[in-house]
Amino acid sequence: MQLDNECRQCLYESQLKKVIKMHGENATTELFRRDVRALCDTAPESSCAPLLMRDIDGIYRSIFGKGIDYSDEKNLFNRALLNIEDKLLTQIIDSEEPLKEAVKYAMAANYIDFARLSDLNEDSVKEVISAAERTVVDEETYLKLKDKILNANTMCYLHDNCGEIVLDKIFIRTAQTLNPRLRCVSVVRGGEIINDATKMDADMVGLGKFSYVFENGAAIPGTYLKECNLLTSAFIRNSDVVISKGLGNLETLYGSGYGIFYMFMCKCSHIARRFSKNLWETALVTDETEGE
């Protein structure tokens, strides 16, 4: 998805707020402000938000010597969701339509995003649960997804943020309960970027017990196939069903023509408008055009 002025301004403001909160107002943060402002103003329209976020992270590293440390936030949300995993899984499996319930929670968990929301805390888990409870899943798209999963041998799951990855794990476990032959590949980021899930985070939450965890080879908050390793493209191309979580994956993959199912929360008004949703509403959509 092409970059627009709303994306530029949102990323500029959210990252500046985070850096000032960490370092205060001084000459160094002013340098960061200036360089990020220039980047956001000159980034080509052919770019997209995840690539711009990658470049903002690069500016931060060049000025401060290392990336922003999100380890506390990542560990907080991973632990918070792990604490309720068993209870939620039982609740979902015992529901009238388990896969649909798992979809609701997986979509709602996309709320956990430090790139756009800099003031998240453990109470935000309550927002995830509340969002899941009020979510209405598009029935036509859900039935297509359900049919794919029930008849699939392989599933590729493109993960997004930490904490959220626990709800992804519940979705995978639910799908495998309904289809015991389903084998899953979980694709995570190839390096630290914001609070996105890495191999270390996947190991922390025990994702590997249910899915083969694979790094995509790129430290970008999305799945930008031009910079990901070849196996990532192969998994997407050859799996019977592909799930994409979050806005970063949506913005780098939507329209690529692989019949991917996208689960996300509309945290940006331009995304909400694109899919005829309200701001902060969850969405399940698919693009079933033929691959290029």
3-state secondary structure 258-274: CCEEEEEECCCHHHHHH
Note whether 137 and 100 are within 8 A (CB): yes
pLDDT of residue 128: 66
pLDDT of residue 123: 63
**pTM beyond cutoff 0.85:** yes
List, as own/partner pairs, every contact residues 33-38 make where C-beta atoms lie below 8 angstroms and the sequence separation is at least 24, other chains included. 35/59, 35/63, 36/12, 37/12
Cα atoms in the 13 Å half-sphere on the side-chain side of 167: 29
pLDDT of residue 7: 82
Q: Which residues contact 209 (CB under 8 A, 6 or more apart)?
A: none
- Distance (Å, whole) CA 260 – CA 244: 7
pLDDT of residue 80: 83
Burial state string for 188-212 with b = 16 or more CB within 10 A and e = fewer than 16 = bbbbbbbbbbbbebbebbebeebbe
- Distance (Å, whole) CA 263 – CA 32: 33
pLDDT of residue 288: 60
pLDDT of residue 124: 62
Tell me the chain's radius of gyration from C-alpha atoms.
Answer: 18
The first and second tokens of residue 219, run together, are 């430290």
- Distance (Å, whole) CA 117 – CA 113: 6
pLDDT of residue 55: 95
């010597």: which residue's tokens?
A: 65
pLDDT < 70 regions, the chain: 111-125, 127-128, 131, 288-292
pLDDT of residue 238: 97
pLDDT of residue 136: 84
Cβ burial of 271 (10 Å; 0-12, 13-18, 19+) is: buried
The first and second tokens of residue 214, run together, are 């694979």
The first and second tokens of residue 103, run together, are 């979809």
In eight-state DSSP terms, residue 183 is E
